[in-house]
Amino acid sequence: MKVTEAMLDAALRKATEAGLFPRHCSSYEMQVNREVMYGILSAAMGEAAVDFMEGTLVESRATPLLSLVHSHYK
């Protein structure tokens, strides 16, 4: 699966809402943010493809991290 512009836009919007990227930045900074997010999405999709081919659950690796994040905000 390939990273689409719609996926990239949605990921950037969510990352900005979460405070990972600044709301207001220069065009250069926005391009850098897009490249960073593209790399993240590509790596995640590549990892998901490997897990799918190996027959393992992708969620099994994410669960401990999500538990840590959620416990921090309780």
Whole-model pTM over 0.95 = no
Question: Please, what is the average pLDDT of the chain?
Answer: 76
Decide which of 70 and 39 is more confident: 39
Q: How far is CA 28 from the centre of its chain?
A: 20
| Cβ count within 10 A of residue 21 | 19
Q: Quick one: average pLDDT of 8-29? A: 94
User: Which residues does 71 contact at the CB level (< 8 Å), separation at least 6?
Assistant: none
What are the structure tokens assigned to 69, written together? 């994040």
Q: Quick one: average pLDDT of 51-67? A: 51
Query: According to the model, what pLDDT value does residue 51 have?
Result: 57
